[in-house]
Structure 1
């Protein structure tokens, strides 16, 4: 983006234009996506994309700080969000201690916390101490083990009411925007309409205030599985493997390096 967004401009975007959010975990990809994304999320999804883990739960605050610094170096003019990993905000004291680490040790613009009504007091506490917060409701990846898998939310009237209550609680606690994940599209639309801050969807339909995708999913680099909500904008894995295979062939046949590649 030519001009870095602020919390104020992000909030004002609601009802004006959809927000574009994408994940990045290093300086290289951050630099590439920063030209088009309004916000870059340093997601704990890096534990799956980078570390090969089956879920996000074992990500640590040290990992998040390291990758957030890398992203900020590559995209110095981007609004950067640091995911607070599992266990780093289990209570108000722990949450503030870890969020202060993020703010002191990185240039991140805010942190992201999973949870609705149950995390409202923590969001409020961070706000009261100068920490900007992006909320996250709906399907919560950090709760996948306790829930027995990735389960779509908003399938019942009770779940819909609870999600709307979650969104209102997160907004009241001071979050300037929130992610809603893995939620029935019609319900996500009602949730977005129930609050005055932007609601960014992932697997939550088009009638919200923006979208976020994991970069390795949308570029076709992650091959293990493809969630239903992901659109692949590039067959990245095939392109990379073909390029590496061509390189290997040229090395074996001594076609590389040629004179123009030699000092």
Structure 2
């Protein structure tokens, strides 16, 4: 049985832990999936880990589609969440929805992940309205490396 967003909601209501591991390729996804992990994240960290880039800012939609599709092909059970790369959602609500749709269609994602809180809430609402599940990410936000002057944790308080 596949893990879905509804599965996550039920697990949360029951107070059950949800497991997630990052993978960037078919073989790793198969191993993670067979181990019974609930969710696989295809992170834009693939820029650092797989592509030898110094940050995640240079990762493209094409990179995420390519690696997301490979992970999806290796997965039978786990929920696949694919990162929206830098500037795929920041410029406009329209761009956010179109690019989230690409990750669902072309990468075969089950949900998309993007960085930010209040400042991207309009994009999250629009993506969800398009019937695309969203995993929002606050805390260490690597796409903001240039704005924050390095890799710094954000969102430690309710206000931030």
Task: Using structure 1 for the length normalisation, give the TM-score.
Answer: 0.57
CA-to-partner distance for each residue in 1:77-136, whole Å, 9 max, x for gaps?
Answer: 221001000000011011111111112213210110100000111000011111111110
1:131 equivalent to 2:128? Answer: no
CA-to-partner distance for each residue in 1:27-86, whole Å, 9 max, x for gaps?
Answer: 000011112311000000000001111111100001100101100111122210010000
Corresponding residue for residue 98 of structure 2 = 97
Q: Which has the higher contact order (CA 8 A, sep 6+)?
A: 2
Instruction: Give the RMSD, CA atoms, in angstroms.
Output: 1.3
User: Is the contact between residue 2 and residue 77 of structure 2 (CA under 8 Å) also seen in structure 1?
Assistant: yes
Corresponding residue for residue 41 of structure 2 = 41
Kindly tell me: are residues 144 and 71 of structure 1, through their superposed partners in 2, closer, same or farther at Cα, counting changes over 3 Å?
same
* Distance in 2 between residues matched to 1:144 and 1:12, nearest whole Å: 35
Corresponding residue for residue 159 of structure 2 = 162
Aligned residue pairs: how many? 157
User: Is the contact between residue 69 and residue 107 of structure 2 (CA under 8 Å) also seen in structure 1?
Assistant: yes
User: Is the contact between residue 30 and residue 74 of structure 2 (CA under 8 Å) also seen in structure 1?
Assistant: yes
Kindly tell me: are residues 143 and 8 of structure 1, through their superposed partners in 2, closer, same or farther at Cα, counting changes over 3 Å?
same
Corresponding residue for residue 19 of structure 2 = 20
| Farther-moved stretch of structure 1 (25-34 vs 7-16) | 7-16
Unaligned regions of 5+ residues in structure 1, if any?
A: 164-263
After TM superposition, the structure 1 = structure 2 runs for residues 90-239 of structure 1, keeping only pairs within 5 Å, are: 90=90, 91-153=92-154, 159-163=156-160
* Distance in 1 between residues matched to 2:80 and 2:96, nearest whole Å: 19
Task: Using structure 2 for the length normalisation, give the TM-score.
Answer: 0.92
Counterpart selection for 2:6 from 5, 8, 25:
8
Corresponding residue for residue 83 of structure 1 = 83
The list of structure 1 runs, each at least 4 consecutive aligned residues, that deviate by more than 2 angstroms after superposition, is none
User: Is the contact between residue 65 and residue 107 of structure 2 (CA under 8 Å) also seen in structure 1?
Assistant: yes
* Distance in 2 between residues matched to 1:54 and 1:103, nearest whole Å: 27
* Distance in 2 between residues matched to 1:98 and 1:161, nearest whole Å: 29
* Distance in 2 between residues matched to 1:72 and 1:25, nearest whole Å: 10
User: Is the contact between residue 67 and residue 107 of structure 2 (CA under 8 Å) also seen in structure 1?
Assistant: no
